[in-house]
Amino acid sequence: MLFTSYGFIAFLAVLFLVYYLFPRKYQWCLLLAASYIFYAFAGLDSLVFILVTTLSSYAVALIMGRMRRRENEYIEAHKDSLDKEAKKAYRAKQRKRRFPVLVAGLVFNFGILAVIKYTGFAISNFNSIIGAFGKEPLTIPSLLLPMGISFYIFQSMGYLIDVYRGKAEPEKNAARFALFVSFFPQLVQGPISRFSDLAPQLFAPHKFNGKSFTFGIQRILWGYFKKLVIADRIVVLMTAMLDEPTEYTGAYVLLLIVVYSIQIFADFTGGIDITIGIAEALGIRLAENFKHPFSSTSTKEYWNRWHITMGSWFNDYVFNSLSVCGPMKKFSTFSRKRFGKALGMRVPVYISTIVTWFLTGLWHGAGWNFIVWGLLNCAVILVSREFEPLYKKFRNKFPRLVATKGYYFFSVARTFLLMGIIRSLDCYRDVGLTFKLWGSMLTTFNYGTLFGGGILDLGLNVSDFVIIAVSVVMVCFIGVVTQKRDVREVLYEKPLVNTALAVALFIAIILFGAYGINYDATQFIYNQF
């Protein structure tokens, strides 16, 4: 059941009506039922996978919670005879005992994800190796990726790690935990929530709040506008250039980089707007996943603003865990003695950053293009880190220049293009071809052909480009305004204007949405991840 399908809109309308008529004490039960109904439309086989992750995570968390409770009881019973060091040693010992339980839960669930998502990729690479020696290739099985599996497994494993670290108490009610894992708005593409943030809201009673409901509906409409009017219209342009990528070199590559950046932003943020809007209409606040990423002046800033919950997940559970683990500390000490303090201090950061970005790329997809995408982002971040002293000298030497609007827009444009170039690996998929097409931007000078009429041979007419341009300007304007204040708060104080704008937005979606003949909603790009 796609977010942009008529069936989903009907499902949502019924849920909103029943939710606030339902006894508040049992609203969470209704949400659980709605989540499983929603997920069942993806296939009954998919239900098996989400149930396995739910039950295994629930059991592992209870085991670790019981072990921690016994630990606390022991310390309480012997508090008079245990000094500070003895308590510390005992806790460290118990932590080591809990660790294999955590690892079992992580290996089991990440193992499921790895088998389903990466078996074909692994066998394909193995076939390439044995093929060089004349061996017969292995058959690549066809495995269907269950909807949202990457998101709900990451969310569940984050919960297990938090329980292990003592940052979250294990949920004793299996049905309540099932709702945390399966809450339907965020199943498709996130955001990836933390148990301590989301669970209390899911289980709390929610009285109808006109303001919250209005804000939620506005957010949903804004998401549909981005998705249907901008992203799905650009699909036609992208399809034309990607059907025969070698025919569209030079200026067309630059065009693809720019329009794909706009498309994925409108598609992904549109989906997140719908997700957050649904939750807000239900009285639940989800974490923001984007904070004006295209206004970033550096790669590091960009990744602090784009897909925030994914970045914080990898930072908290991969980068931080790896950089302070025992073996890493030992290797850092060895490096300091062998290669000097400066390099020794960099070792944990560099290795942890490389591993984190390698896994981030692999999480996005089973292909070398995604791995290279992750490592290129890593390289840019590490190089920028090394050149930071030079950047600082430049800023100190030319403070007036750095403070100008021109320099700011230059930095924003540079970051936008750099991220767009790397992101084009999503589109071309073939790493060698992508590098070749990047080079064509400097060697094939067909910009006159493109802007002399060639752009109109890509499936869109002048009116389509006007709609895209006006819509993008509108999104940019709203983005700039909302950086300073919440526009919805201002509009809520003016009911007539608020209603008129909501109706206008709805009409714009109906009139300008890219539906086409025999309309079938285009999948959200991040569904594949």
Q: Mutual orientation of helices 44-77 and 174-182 as an angle, nearest 10°?
A: 120
Residue from 206, 292, 307, 364 carrying the catalytic annotation? 364
Dist. CA 279–CA 301, nearest whole Å:
27
Q: How many angstroms separate the CA atoms of 239 and 259, rounded?
A: 12
Tokens of 29: 């039960």
The CA-atom distances, in angstroms, between 58 and each of 22, 133, 158, 162, 171 are 27, 47, 12, 13, 7
- Residues 6 or more apart in contact with residue 239 via CB below 8 angstroms: 459
List the one residue out of 524, 11, 17 whose CA is nearest residue 272: 524
Long-range own/partner contacts, residues 16-19 (CB < 8 A, 24 or more apart): 16/213, 16/281, 16/282, 19/206, 19/282
In angstroms, the CA 381 to CA 304 distance is 12
Q: Is the Cα torsion angle 253, 255, 257, 260 positive or negative in sign?
A: negative
Give backbone dihedrals phi and psi of 375, rounded to 5 degrees, phi first. -70, -30
Query: For 101-119, what is the HEC assignment?
Result: HHHHHHHHHHHHHHHHHHH
| Alpha-carbon torsion, ordered 107, 109, 115, 116, to 10 deg | -170
The reply to whether 364 belongs to the active site is yes
Name, in order, each residue with C-beta under 8 angstroms of 112's C-beta and a sequence gap of 6 or more: 49, 52, 53, 149, 153
What dihedral angle (degrees, nearest 10) is formed by the CA atoms of 210, 214, 220, 226? Answer: -170
- Tokens 């790896």 correspond to what residue? 322
Q: What is the gyration radius of the CA atoms in the chain, in angstroms? A: 25
- Would you name the residues annotated as active-site residues? 364
